[in-house]
Structure 1
Amino acid sequence: MLAHRLPNPPTLIGRLAEFSSLALPSLRQRVACGFPSPAEDFFTEEDRLDLNQKLVTNPAATFLAWADTGGSMVDFGIHDGDLLVIDRSIRPRSGHTVLVLWEGGFMVKKLDVRAGRIRLLASQGVQPIVVGEGVELDVWGVVRWSLTKHA
Structure 2
Amino acid sequence: MHSTPAVAAQAVEQLPLELAASESFPHPGRDHHTGPLDLNRHLIRRPASTFVLRLSGDSLASIGLYDGDEIVVDRALDPAPGRVVVVVVDAERRVGVMEVHDGQAVLVSDVETIPLTGAVAPWGVAICGIRHLPYGV
Given the two structures, how large is their TM-score scaled by the length of structure 1? 0.64
- Point out where structure 2 has 5 or more consecutive residues left out of the alignment: 1-14
Pairwise CA distance, 1:40: 9.4
Aligned-CA RMSD value: 2.8
* Match 1:39 to one of 18, 23, 28: 23
2:96 counterpart of 1:109: yes
Query: Who is 1:53 aligned against?
Result: 41
Confirm or deny: 8 A CA contact 1:95 1:111 kept in the other structure. Answer: yes
Identity of aligned residues (%): 28
How many residue pairs get aligned? The number is 115
Change over 3 Å in CA distance of 1:64–1:113 after alignment to 2: same
Query: Who is 1:26 aligned against?
Result: 17
Give the secondary-structure state (helix, strand or coil) at the position aligned to 1:75.
helix
Query: Who is 2:4 aligned against?
Result: none
Given the two structures, how large is their TM-score scaled by the length of structure 2? 0.69
Distance 2:133 2:74 in 1: 24
Query: Who is 1:131 aligned against?
Result: 115
2:83 counterpart of 1:85: no
Distance 1:61 1:28 in 2: 34
* Match 2:81 to one of 94, 104, 108: 94
- Point out where structure 1 has 5 or more consecutive residues left out of the alignment: 1-23, 30-36
Pairwise CA distance, 1:44: 5.3
Confirm or deny: 8 A CA contact 2:83 2:125 kept in the other structure. Answer: yes
Confirm or deny: 8 A CA contact 1:93 1:113 kept in the other structure. Answer: no
Give the secondary-structure state (helix, strand or coil) at the position aligned to 1:49.
coil
2:128 counterpart of 1:145: yes
Confirm or deny: 8 A CA contact 1:113 1:119 kept in the other structure. Answer: yes
